[in-house]
A and B are shown apart, each in its own frame.
Chain A
């Protein structure tokens, strides 16, 4: 299947500057610099590009909000924290297609009028950091960034910043804190980074995959881009499959492709020839879908209508014979550990949900305990500085709704029904 980021299938090995230029690399930048920055923004808006970090926010809108802010200087941050468990897409893009990523950064900076871009990259990604560092040197020598980019009046700087490897460090405002030399703790919002961001200045924080889409959009146009995907979710998205399928890996697919195609054709189906019990389209924070939703199209609207979400495309499968109580307990414990602890509501919620699930697992508390989950979630709804507080809810509530027998069995016997 033809792709946008991987036009000839997922690339193996690092693409150098000459190879990238050989397929039209940096031509989009040269073209863009001949017209005003607003044209770049308009083209990205027309293409309907949406953020690939999880929220799906329209990129053109984010850039416009940043640019509209009169404060100077403005900043662009490439968010390559990639701390979502099982996500491998940003690492692959930075390792193998560093120039595609860097061209997107330069175009984004030009569009919003940023004087500096920070590349915030997971510190554990040694190969990606080396690949990007080398590509930055090549691109600078070729005049693509630095003083007077390609002989124009556009001048801007790029700096690489290693990102701590913990879950909240990938949150956009936590990234800003780290770049400012502080602890990776999310900030209270509003104000949003587009108005008060890095060093208090307007800042656009964009995911790696999001920015990697910008070069192809500028080079080939919004109409071409919209040939992929659906009207509400144009383009493609990179999905990560892990060891619950026969062929783990990353797969670029047009939005709207049925989930079944990803799981069966790309991933080779669930491992061990088992049957699917549940699908989590955006692990670990989305609602589970029952197996009969396997034909749901992979786009934002369809996933929302089905009761779940796309997140950053980490698709996980639960096989028949797996106890959902054990699964959600693992998820809940993950969020309890990864909560940074600065917001009391988040601390209370994550700790309490895990404690409740442990009670269920051990068969304590009886049926009344099942009614407590929604009370805890409702009480804490909308509280906390970042979205982590909203993450344990969808997996737990969907598990309770779809698989009540697993909870009942634990409560009745104190044992896991699948053992």
Chain B
């Protein structure tokens, strides 16, 4: 199972991550991506740049995501291109979070 992790901590929520997660779930279902699970995540530590969404095991981190970005993210999940303009997070934080995700912490 692939995971699409949507941060649900204070800052990301304040920027609309609950609605993002709900919309993303609809889009993933509509696209028939039965191997993708949209899940909440506690905190990626990049609150200022939220809402944050991480695709795993793809290890793609999208920051500052807006509703209008969700179609492209869904396309990526369906095999489309990586959304480069939303890939703005510092590599050392990415590395730490990806290592944590590798241990199954979600």
User: Chain A interface (Cβ within 8 Å of chain B)?
Assistant: 341, 344-345, 347-349, 351-352, 355-356, 359, 364-366, 368-369, 372, 375-376, 379-380
Contact = CB atoms under 8 A, between A and B. Distances in A.
A260 B62 CA distance: 55
Contacts of A379: 45, 92-93, 96
B10 A365 contact: no
Main secondary structure of the interface of A (DSSP, over half): helix
Interface string B39-61: 00011111110000000000000
Given A355-B42, A375-B96, A379-B96, A347 B105 contact: no
A375 B92 CA distance: 11
Given A351-B9, A376-B100, A379-B96, A359 B43 contact: no
B99 A347 contact: no
Given A356-B105, A365-B103, 8 more contacts: A341-B10, A348-B45, A352-B45, A352-B100, A365-B105, A375-B96, A376-B96, A379-B96
B15 to A, nearest CB: 13
Given A345-B45, A352-B43, A359 B96 contact: no
Q: Which of A345, A347, A356, A364 has the most CB of B within 10 A?
A: A347
A372 to B, nearest CB: 6
B92 A344 contact: no
A359 B104 contact: yes
Nearest to A351: B42
Given A344-B47, A379-B93, A379-B96, A372 B103 contact: yes
Nearest to B106: A355
A98 B12 CA distance: 47
A369 B42 contact: no
Interface in B70-106: 92-93, 96, 99-100, 102-105
B105 A359 contact: yes
A348 B47 CA distance: 9
B37 interface: no
Closest 9 CB pairs of A and B: A348-B45, A344-B47, A351-B42, A365-B103, A369-B103, A348-B43, A351-B43, A347-B43, A379-B96
